[in-house]
Every structure is written in structure tokens, then in C-alpha cells.
Amino acid sequence: MEISTAAAAKYTTSIQINAPITVVWQLLSDINKWPQWNPEVKTAHLNGALAPETDFTWKAGPGTITSHLVEVKAPTNIAWTGKTMGISASHTYKLEEAGSNKTIVTTAETFDGIVVKIMKSYFQKTLAKSLDGGLASLKKAAEQAQLNS
């Protein structure tokens, strides 16, 4: 899935993680355990198999979000869409091996909807903070898991 360039707010960022792609994938793909490594996620529940067309519900920030998996390609891609409080969102993660024990993770997200268009600057900053923070938490968890293995 590609992120829309026409969305009102969009952000893309990357990080290098000193852990194999399989370790990083395990953390990202186990949606039910997101709250264990990402402090912004309070709850998360996958409502079926980790596969396109499966929904999951999660709470991050003020609202509970129901998201819909649109792409799951182990161990390199996972993407979903979701709606909450009048905001439509799309989110992707792409993982690339960068040597035997390094992974580059690129994540991108868009927000769209009337409220986003009205408060574009706020939502742009919110996206940047959320994605940068999420990648930092993923890096910390994956590198710790690698040390413990």
C-alpha cells in the first residue's frame, strides 16, 4: 500500500535498528502486544488472523480506533487503514535488511478529513511526534530482544 500524497497531513520517517528483520517483524506483527513496547498504545486486540481484511481495535491517544489490515507481507510490509473521530488514517511499515543484524524501518502515515484540514498544523505535528516516538520505542524493544536472545 502506498500512502496518499493528497492527504491533509502526512509524515514519513525511518530508523536503523540493530536487530535482525525477524526480531523487528515479530514485534510489529504481534498487534496484541503493542502496549508492551509502545507506551503510546494503551490497548490492542487483533480480531482474527494477521492477514489482509482482518480488523483490529486499539487505543492510542484520546480515542479507540478500529483499523483494517490491507497489507501483510512477512517480514517486510504491514499496512492498515482506520477511522476515528472523523479522521481517516492510513499507516505503513516497511522493513529492509541492512546487514545481518540491522534493519531499516520506514513508517508513513496520513490523516485526512475536515477536522484535519481545519487543524492541519496540529495534526502534522501530532503525526511526527507519534511516528518518531513509535520508531524509537520499536528500536529500544527490538535491540533489547536481540540482546536477550
Q: What share of the chain is helix, strand, coil (3-state, %, to 5)?
A: 35, 40, 25
State the pTM of this model: 0.94
- Residue 110: what pLDDT? 96
CA distances from 71 to 67, 86, 89, 98 (A): 12, 23, 15, 22
CATH classification code of 13-148: 3.30.530.20
- Residue 24: what pLDDT? 98
| Residue among 4, 21, 1, 2 at smallest CA distance from 116 | 4
Distant-in-sequence contacts of 92-99, Cβ < 8 A, 24+ apart: 92/1, 92/2, 92/3, 93/28, 95/21, 95/24, 95/25, 95/28, 96/21, 97/20, 97/21, 98/16
- For the chain, which residues score pLDDT lower than 50? none
- Residue 147: what pLDDT? 86
Backbone angles phi, psi at 109, to 5 degrees: -145, 150
- Residue 4: what pLDDT? 76
Contact 60, 42 (CB under 8 A): yes
